[in-house]
Amino acid sequence: MKILAAIKQVPARDSQLRVNDSGTWIEEPDTSEINEPDAYALEEALQLREKAGGEVVALCAGPESASQTIREALAKGADRAIHIEDDDLGRFDSLGIARILAAAAATEQPDLILTGLQSDDLGFGQTGVILAELLGMAHATIIMKVEPRGTGIRVKRELEDGWFQNTDLPLPAVLTIQSGINKLRYATLMGIKKAKLKEVRKLTASGLGVAVEPSVRLERVFMPQRTKQTRMIEGSVRDQAAALVEALRHEVRVL
């Protein structure tokens, strides 16, 4: 079974974010890391290979600096990688990114494509579903378990209110993996050494023939405004307690 694991480089959670001069996005962060939901997709791909055999290919679209994230995926056990190198992916919306990934995936003819449920930076949660539509593959979202079954797979989906759905899918298919589906592994010292020798195929969006006018544009981003406000609650103890509960429930929304 050939499995593509789509991964994305995002700013590290502890990095200091700064809006760029044009206000359209953030400046290049000091530190970056693999998108956490994608890390779970990669881990599931590696575990499926261990059960059913085959090959895991890490697929990443991003700037040259994303090679660090790709090497991490290779160190954890991916067999090889595809890097669609582009320093300005921000000009693409979810449809554009999915078209880039679909063009690269089509050259591999995978049995299974795994993506994270959403990205930590934009959080649209659309790329995996659009990718499946572009490739004409069966797809399912919020996956908690994957079992190979003959020429297909059985998946367990998380629904609302603690409910789950088990369904069979034919291959090839695209799955968006829920975070927490399994325990993430660490790259071993031997894995880090082997990663240096593994193949990383370099592609570009223009080389794949993807030049799409985005249907959605991100016009401006803003840093959260931090403000402090003190409000004195007057009245009897009973009135103060009732007013405090009302504020916590409807204004602060912590109750």
Lowest average pLDDT, out of 104-108, 186-190, 200-204, 209-213, goes to 209-213
Give the pLDDT score at 160.
Answer: 87
**What is the reported pTM?**
0.82
Classify domain 2-203 by CATH architecture. Answer: 3-Layer(aba) Sandwich (3.40)
Average pLDDT over residues 23-31: 77
Q: pLDDT tens across 114-135, in order?
A: 999 998 888 889 999 999 999 9
Share of the chain above pLDDT 90, in %: 64
Average pLDDT, the chain: 90
Q: pLDDT tens across 193-202, in order?
A: 999 999 999 9
Cα(42)–Cα(177) distance, integer angstroms? 9
Neighbours of 44 (CB within 10 A): 24
3-class DSSP assignment, residue 164: strand
Share of the chain above pLDDT 70, in %: 100
Q: Which residues contact 107 (CB under 8 A, 6 or more apart)?
A: none
Query: What kind and span of H or E run contains 146?
Result: strand 138-149
HSE-up of 60 (CA within 13 Å, CB side)?
A: 35
Average pLDDT over residues 214-227: 77
pLDDT bucket at 20, cuts 50 / 70 / 90 = confident
